Structure 1
């Protein structure tokens, strides 16, 4: 099973070009879609999920034409959007049973077995009678995955699933996603780089509606080998340094600023070479794209 997206474009009524000729091949397993807020990730996810129309392009899921046969897509799709509501005064068991009915599971015995199985799989069975209003953020996200798994989907989309979760809940959610992604396509849309590096064998970086990079996270990190340098400076030095070097990221440490710079050779004696991470690749590609735009507009 493969999801093939070709030359997909979408411009909203206000003139925002959310997607610009996006092409991706997404195989079975966990696929990370990485980009900053406003990059076009949610627009792409909503289009795949048949919640909005594309202006042009195509999407094929196996033998299903996603843009033309929306009913066929919905029968094999599980979707956990960035924001989803729950009825606070109803239990997880009751609401999941209701969703199962909407999915067409009419046999009450079979439906009960499926609901209980999904609650066990998402580690919510012991709190199945508890009202959803009393669930933590992580528990609500796991309930969201339970409803997305109804009907044995072939494709699951999760949009910014770990934002706001504490480390323990985030780890539980990662383990659950990794298990789910062994046999079906799972698209993880996020701006959190470590979610992709921890979970995904394939990924893409998207920004301003354009795909900047695709590949295996371990392999794409090699593209910066021997080109990444680090230096600690006073924050007052940063503006001048940004004029001189390709600074891709900065962070504070003990009151000083640590900068990461991309350069084919050591920029100076105060710089040390470092092993690149996926975060470095992410920042480098975003910075490169922004420089191209600045040059084009100047």
Structure 2
């Protein structure tokens, strides 16, 4: 069951164009939607979750019209929004039971089996009777995933799930997402490059409401091989470097700046070649440089 998006557009009353003709083909598995804050990710997620109307365009999941058949879509939708709240005095077990009833699991026996299985799957079984108000951020996110998984959804939307999590919780949460992405279309919306690199078999980079790149991560990295060069410079020399070369990213290390530069061949003796990664892909796309597709408004790497 594929999710097919065609020419989705959305402009808010204040004139902000959140989406500008977005088209994507998303197969089953983990799909990463990568972009900075304000790029249009959450608007797209809310439209797909039937919480907002687009101004134009279509989206279909299998035989379901996402825009016009909202009730049908909701029957097979799991959604973990960027921000959500649970009653702090209710236990995880009771809360999940409540949402299971809302999802249509009215028979006590089967509902109990489903709730128990989800608590174990999300590693919350040992704390199932604790109040949600005592949970860490990562535990609350895992409970949100358990709620999203009720009813065996075929479309799962996860919006900025690891923001604010400590490294240990982040790894645990990403492992959980990797497990659920086997039988459904799972869209992971994030501004964290590592989340997409570690989990997703396909990705899209979005900025200012437009898709700049749709690719398999490994092939997007391959397209940059031999085109990323590194040089260490003093901070006050960085402006001159940026005027002379296509600097795609910089980072500070031991008081000096390490700059990654895009170039078809060596930009000079002071530079050394570097093996590209997803950060280089992301920053190259955002800077307008990505292999032979650099001049195109949208690059596709099959």
Tell me the TM-score normalized by structure 2: 0.95
Secondary structure of the 2:188 match is: strand
Aligned length: 293
Secondary structure of the 2:21 match is: strand
User: 1:125 matched to which residue of 2?
Assistant: 125
**Please, which moves more after superposition, 105-114 or 136-145?**
105-114
User: 1:79 matched to which residue of 2?
Assistant: 79
User: 2:100 matched to which residue of 1?
Assistant: 100
User: 1:189 matched to which residue of 2?
Assistant: 189
Q: Distance in 2 between matches of 1:273 and 1:37?
A: 31
Q: Distance in 2 between matches of 1:161 and 1:31?
A: 14
Secondary structure of the 2:288 match is: helix
Offset of residue 157 of structure 1:
0.3
Q: Tell whether 2:23 aligns with 1:52.
A: no
Secondary structure of the 1:260 match is: strand
What are the ranges of 5 or more consecutive residues in structure 1 without an aligned counterpart?
294-298
What are the ranges of 5 or more consecutive residues in structure 2 without an aligned counterpart?
298-302
Q: Tell whether 2:242 aligns with 1:242.
A: yes
Q: Tell whether 2:231 aligns with 1:231.
A: yes
User: 1:296 matched to which residue of 2?
Assistant: none
Secondary structure of the 2:223 match is: helix
User: 2:300 matched to which residue of 1?
Assistant: none
Q: Distance in 1 between matches of 2:74 and 2:209?
A: 24
Q: Distance in 2 between matches of 1:257 and 1:215?
A: 30
Offset of residue 292 of structure 1:
9.3
Q: Over residues 220-244 of structure 1, what are the superposed CA-to-partner deviations in whole Å (9 max), with x where a residue is unaligned?
A: 1111111110000000011111111
State the superposition RMSD in angstroms: 1.4
Q: Distance in 2 between matches of 1:175 and 1:259?
A: 32
**Bigger proportion of residues as helix:** 1
Q: Over residues 73-96 of structure 1, what are the superposed CA-to-partner deviations in whole Å (9 max), with x where a residue is unaligned?
A: 100000000101111111001111
Offset of residue 10 of structure 1:
0.4
Secondary structure of the 1:286 match is: helix
User: 1:162 matched to which residue of 2?
Assistant: 162
- Return closer, same or farther for 1:141/1:3 CA change in 2, 3 Å cut-off: same
Q: Tell whether 2:208 aligns with 1:202.
A: no
Tell me the TM-score normalized by structure 1: 0.96
Offset of residue 196 of structure 1:
0.6
Offset of residue 119 of structure 1:
0.4
**Please, which moves more after superposition, 276-285 or 163-172?**
163-172
